[in-house]
Amino acid sequence: MAKVWVYAEVHEGNLDPAALELLTKARDLGDAEAVVLGSGASDAAAKLGEYGAAVVHASDDAVYDDFIAQPHAHALHELIGQNNPDLIMFANNYDSRDIAGRLSAKTGSTLMGNATDILSVDKAQTSIFGGTQLVDVELEGSPRLVLVRPKSFEPSAAAAAGTVQQVSVEIPEDAKKAKRVERHEEQASGPKLDAAPVVVSGGRGLQEAGNFKLLEELASEIGNAAVGATRAVVDAGWVPYAMQIGQTGITVKPGVYIAVGISGATQHMVGMKGAKKIIAINKDEEAPIFSIADLGVVGDALKILPQLIEEVRNRKG
């Protein structure tokens, strides 16, 4: 059996749920094990075991919380030497992307990014052009390294031993060069964007930052809805980055996705095309978003939004 590792992120003691998605897949591919580094790692081991990790290589050392990427890549490289995994899966998140990039240089393995499926221990799949084409890629190297987009697999529990093996790798001083000295969280109100059953999302078509309050009104009228945004309006500084949906940003799979004034750039579509139902409002009838929408309305978002808020209120009566 192939030895398949999942690199699990912990943030302020909390396990990144994407690790459970990856473990669910890793179980199908071979003997699943997990690596988790940083405060809360040992506590996370139990959960990782519940999702199929027979062994959890863990260290609670704060060096992994304080310093970026270098200690993790160093430790992983040591662990690879001791254990010879065949494949390591990472979630396509900020920290993992950095760590996997460095590890690729150390091992000489080609790192595949943005995978949406793992077909076998040596083959993974990604989608391009806004998800219209699927590309199967052969993985090379020892171990093979893949970054998988979050929400590619539905997590399901299947208990394994979850035996903790303490990682005791000495981290050299020259791997402690980029240090986190302050942490700031942006608080969002309402349900979490990546878990909300309805997402109302806005793009350039809203014309100015102030009009985002119409989306917030609509979301609160619908209830249990979260507000998201495209990269274009986040870059323009209209809304915080935490609201960004897409390739960089959050992947969402809500029951209903309402795209307002969003043309449908590839970068955005890969983050939302998994929605069960998509509604699009845009004034350009040629906008790519209409090609994936279940209901499309060609018109002025600023005119339609107040009417829609009213209509929703009436129907809820």
Partner 1 sequence: MNIVVCVKHIPDPNVPPEMDGDRLKREGVQGVLDPGDEFGVEAGLQLKEKNGGEVTLVSMGPATAREAVTRGLSMGADKGILISDDSLAGADALVTARVLAAAIKRNEFDLVIAGVESTDGYTGTMPGTLAELLGVPQVTFVKTLENVDATTAKVDRQTASGYHVVECALPAVMTVTAGVNEPRYASFKGIMAAKKKPLEELSLGDLGLTSDDVAINQKIAQITPAEERKAGEVFEDDGTGAAKIADFLKEAKVI
Concatenated DSSP letters of 187-199: ---SS-TTT-SEE
Cα(243)–Cα(226) distance, integer angstroms: 9
Q: What are phi and psi of 135, to 5 degrees?
A: -120, 120
| CB-nearer residue toward partner 1: 53 or 69 | 69
Least distance between partner 1 and beta carbon 181 (Å): 5
Residue 202, strand partner residues: 229, 260
Cα(264)–Cα(247) distance, integer angstroms: 12
Least distance between partner 1 and beta carbon 309 (Å): 8
Count of Cβ atoms closer than 10 Å to residue 158 Cβ: 11
Pair 225, 191: CB distance under 8 Å: yes
Least distance between partner 1 and beta carbon 217 (Å): 13
Tokens coding 109? 């393995």
| CB-nearer residue toward partner 1: 156 or 172 | 172
Least distance between partner 1 and beta carbon 36 (Å): 18
Least distance between partner 1 and beta carbon 37 (Å): 16
| CB-nearer residue toward partner 1: 49 or 271 | 271
Q: Which residues are CB-neighbours of 213 under 8 A, at least 6 positions away? A: none
Pair 193, 254: CB distance under 8 Å: no
| CB-nearer residue toward partner 1: 164 or 282 | 282
| CB-nearer residue toward partner 1: 99 or 164 | 99
